[in-house]
Amino acid sequence: MPMPFRLDPHEPFAAGLKRILMGEIAVARAAVAVPRAEQAAGIHRARRALKRARSVLLVFRPLIGEDYRRRRDVLRDAADHLSAARDADAMVASAQKLDDRRPHDGAGVVIGRLSRAAEIAHAQRPDTGRVAALLRIAEADAASLPLAPAAGRLFVEALGETYRRGRADWRKAEEEGGEDVLHDWRKRVKHRWHLSLLVVGRTAVTSRSIVGDLDELGELLGDEHDLALLVRRLGKEADVSGSRKAARHLAEEAERRRRKLARRACELGAELYGDKTRHFLQKLDGLATDA
């Protein structure tokens, strides 16, 4: 059974972080090795574990210097190999929700083709051999990490950096929006959420309520991204059985929903990223203990 995604207060920061990183990679390795009948659930577990692993790896960045990017890319590439079926499923679910809200004649044809594309994506089993090879590299990388005596300070710096970059993305999202901006912001939010989960309840900015709000914000931005994928896919929809009009209708509904989600995300972002970074760091006082 995998270890919980938590730091033990009786465990040194360095040992705890390394244990968690290696544990998440192990979870991903086990998840991609499941039988075919359990593939969808396994891929979901693996992708989540790899996202958590990438967040924890941020803490070690000052220790590994230029090699950080290579190590990060190994984890990212492993996740990318597992994304096709998930993205196809997300487009089907998003289109169905839109049609449930505002039905349109012909939408069923479009959703049917999206569903068939998802079935094909699932049938084309991901290259789990390649994923497993990447995860073996990631596992060796994690095992080679030094146990930094100042891991608590590095953890605070990493959490502060995820906040600083997330705050910049939030302000950019408010000023100009855009799919890429919102997608980048989501990644920062996820990193902050994961790191906050490790110490939930110990500070004013890693409390249970803050962690819950970060989770909600990540979900809002994730839903927005799924709709963006759908809009791009609908733009390529061929006019089969008169479905082009339905595709345009779904795309317009998706854009309306995206704008609503973006507004809600920015409102929640004001609550979570309103402090200047130095004030955020001040609220982490006492966390960087390395005893």
Task: Give me the pLDDT at residue 238, please.
Answer: 58
Same-domain check for residues 4 and 139: yes
Query: What is the reported pLDDT for 244?
Result: 82
* Same domain, residue pair 143 and 199: no
Statement to judge: residues 34 and 139 lie in one domain: yes
Q: Are residues 60 and 181 in the same domain?
A: no
Query: What pLDDT score was predicted for residue 288?
Result: 61
For the chain, the 3-state helix, strand and coil shares in percent, each to the nearest 5, are: 75, 0, 25
- Amino acid at residue number 282: Q
Co-location of 191 and 54 in the same domain: no
Q: Is residue 90 part of a domain?
A: no
Do residues 179 and 133 both lie within one domain?
no
- At residue 160, the pLDDT reads 95
Q: What is the pLDDT of residue 96?
A: 94
Largest CA distance in the chain: 68
> Is 101 contained in some domain?
no
108 part of a folded domain = no
**Long-range interactions of 225-228: CB distance < 8 A, separation 24+:** 225/179, 225/182, 225/183, 225/186, 226/90, 226/91, 226/93, 226/94, 227/94, 227/254, 227/255, 227/257, 227/258, 227/261, 228/179, 228/182, 228/183, 228/258
Residue 164 lies in a domain: yes
Q: What is the pLDDT of residue 182?
A: 96
* Amino acid in the structure at residue 164: R
- Work out how many domains the chain is built from and give that number: 2
| pLDDT tens-digit series, residues 137-166 | 999 999 999 887 788 889 999 999 999 999
Asked if residue 69 and residue 39 are part of one domain, the reply reads yes
Are residue 223 and residue 143 in the same domain, yes or no? no
131 within a domain of the structure (yes/no): yes
Question: Average pLDDT per run of 10 along the chain, which is 291 residues long?
Answer: 71 88 95 83 92 96 94 96 90 94 88 91 83 95 86 90 97 91 96 90 86 97 95 75 79 95 97 95 74 40
Residues 144 and 154 in one domain: no
Sequence-ordered alpha helix ranges (H) in the chain: 13-32, 39-57, 61-64, 67-80, 84-101, 107-123, 128-143, 151-175, 179-198, 208-234, 243-272, 277-282
Which residue segment(s) compose the domain that 131 sits in? 1-82+126-148
Task: Determine the pLDDT at residue 1.
Answer: 47
Distance of CA 176 to the CA centre of its chain: 22
pTM for the whole thing?
Answer: 0.91
**Is the same domain home to 273 and 210?**
yes
Co-location of 131 and 7 in the same domain = yes
Q: Same domain for 67 and 193?
A: no
* 217: in domain: yes
The Cα–Cα gap between 246 and 237 comes to 10
Q: Which residue, 97, 117, 148, sits at the end of a domain?
A: 148
Cβ 155 vs Cβ 59: under 8 Å: yes
